[in-house]
Amino acid sequence: MARKGSRGVRRRGARLAAVQAMYQMEIAGKSSAEAIEDFRLRRLNDTVDGGDGITPENVDDELFVGLVDGVSASVSALDAQIDQAISKERSIENVEVLLRLILRAGAYEISNRPDIDAALSINEYVAVAEAFFGGTEPRFVNGVLDRLAQELTPTKAPSDVQE
């Protein structure tokens, strides 16, 4: 894929694209490889709600593939981590599918990408949630991922970092 957008723009595009590809996996029962290929062929130039087009130059392909494959390979472990960070009254199984996928992607990135600051990951997945939801869901994503980040790195609290 071409690389015209800034690093931050390409990474944000990768996160949004990864959640959309994982949604396709969930709904259509596709493998990660099928979802990645389908996304590249059919959806990469579609316009997302809000008018933001995901184009090849606006997606970090390495991050996109890493997120889709990584989440797919570790769903059970990610769900267990998320369940620990969710309030006692709720379970990851009872979270709406798209919101669950956003949380899984965020949890994967926080726990498996030490090269990306946890606070940045949290902010990015809140933005992804805002692209799909207009209610309290972005705050829910923020709270769950923040608790997860604190559990994974108890000595280092997330800080605001620009990408």
CA 105 to chain centre: 3
φ, ψ dihedrals at 25, nearest 5°:
-60, -45
Residues 56 and 95 in one domain: no
φ, ψ dihedrals at 53, nearest 5°:
-80, 135
pLDDT, tens digit, for every residue of 77-126?
Answer: 999 999 999 977 788 888 999 999 999 999 999 999 999 999 999 999 99
Inside any domain, residue 158: no
Query: Residue 50 — left, alpha, or beta (φ > 0 → left; ψ -120 to 50 → alpha)?
Result: left
Question: Do the Cβ atoms of 19 and 98 come closer than 8 Å?
Answer: yes
Per the structure, the count of domains in the chain is 2
The residue from 53, 73, 93 where one domain ends is 73
Inside any domain, residue 161: no
Q: What is the pLDDT of residue 47?
A: 47
What whole-number distance in Å separates Cα of residue 10 and Cα of residue 47? 15
pLDDT, tens digit, for every residue of 122-152?
Answer: 999 999 999 999 999 999 999 999 999 998 8
Q: 3-state class of 39 per DSSP?
A: helix
DSSP-derived letter for residue 58 is G
Amino acid identity, residue 137? E
For residue 102, what are the domain limits?
A: 74-153
Q: Is 87 exposed, middle or buried (0-12, 13-18, 19+ CB in 10 A)?
A: exposed
Q: What is the mean pLDDT of residues 10-14?
A: 92
Residues 41 and 69 in one domain: yes
Inside any domain, residue 18: yes
What whole-number distance in Å separates Cα of residue 69 and Cα of residue 112? 12
Residues 82 and 122 in one domain: yes
Question: Do the Cβ atoms of 39 and 24 come closer than 8 Å?
Answer: yes
Q: 3-state class of 117 per DSSP?
A: coil
- Mean pLDDT for the chain overall: 85
DSSP-derived letter for residue 87 is -
Res. 161: pLDDT tops 90: no
Inside any domain, residue 17: yes
Q: 3-state class of 6 per DSSP?
A: coil
